[in-house]
Amino acid sequence: MNNRPVILVVEDDAPVRNLIATTLKTHDYRYLTAVNGAEAILKASSYNPDVVFLDLGLPDRDGIDVIRQIRAWSNMPVIVISARSEDADKIEALDAGADDYLTKPFSVEELLARLRVTIRRLSLMSAGTGPEESVYANGALSIDYSAGCAFLNGEELKLTPIEYKLLCLLARNTGRVLTHTFITQKIWGRSWENDVASLRVFMVSLRKKLEPGPDAPQYIQTHIGIGYRMLKVE
Ligand code: CA
């Protein structure tokens, strides 16, 4: 069984590190650990893990720098662990290239759920419906990028140009949490207060067309104060 995902756990706090390691072991994941940023970068580059859990508050350097260094050569998914409850450092981490975040204290269920979302994204990429493919398929949703059309259950969605751009941006980043700043910069080329407000409005109208039940979104997940994520539907 060598195809079990390998997870790199970067955490200087021993009880938290042990909790994560035990959880991973119990659920049949392979794992490596690192206790500081230097070790994290070394192990990430030598072992090329499938997913990295990265504590932002490390003794030798800021976790954000670790993300930037990893992103210089790899797209491996990084889930940051933040002790601070403010959104600002999660947003900074996501904009630096992290895929997702967990806030301390977190439950084992939460940890496993985040990991499943990330691993589903990896399997989506290896199944050939990654960001570079010309057709995207996710549950009942499909997008034909070359034709510029999106379909739900085979029926073409009537989207405005901005809704379509938003949908494609989220789809190409399935599994990743995209911040308001990232999205507005990609869509409008800037990120002003007004753009974030318009983004909310466009998101409401896009979801009305896309989600079967507006109260139980299947595709687009909201991260209040942070951004949005396209989920891989099973
Ligand atoms: Ca720490």
Task: State residue 153's pLDDT score.
Answer: 94
Q: In terms of pTM, does the model score above 0.75?
A: yes
Residues lining ligand 1 (ion), CB within 5 A? Answer: 12-13, 55, 57
Measured CA distances, 174 to 20, 82, 127, 170, 216 (Å): 25, 22, 13, 6, 18
Quote the ligand 1 centre to 35 CA distance (angstroms): 9
Task: State residue 2's pLDDT score.
Answer: 62
Quote the ligand 1 centre to 89 CA distance (angstroms): 14
Quote the ligand 1 centre to 37 CA distance (angstroms): 11
Q: Cα 181 from chain centroid?
A: 15
Quote the ligand 1 centre to 12 CA distance (angstroms): 5
Quote the ligand 1 centre to 114 CA distance (angstroms): 19
Quote the ligand 1 centre to 172 CA distance (angstroms): 32
Task: State residue 127's pLDDT score.
Answer: 65
HEC per residue, the chain: CCCCCEEEEECCCHHHHHHHHHHHHHCCCEEEEECCHHHHHHHHHHHCCCEEEEECECCCCEHHHHHHHHHCCCCCCEEEEECCCCHHHHHHHHHCCCCEEEECCCCHHHHHHHHHHHHHHHHHHHHHHCCCCCEEEECCEEEECCCCEEEECCEECCCCHHHHHHHHHHHHCCCCEEEHHHHHHHHHCCCCHHHHHHHHHHHHHHHHHHCCCCCCCCCEEEECCCEEEECCCC
Quote the ligand 1 centre to 19 CA distance (angstroms): 14
Residue 84 carries which side chain, given as an amino acid letter? Answer: R
Task: State residue 14's pLDDT score.
Answer: 97
Low-confidence ranges of the chain (pLDDT < 50): 1
Domains contained in the chain, CATH given: 6-127 (3.40.50.2300), 135-230 (1.10.10.10)
Task: State residue 1's pLDDT score.
Answer: 46
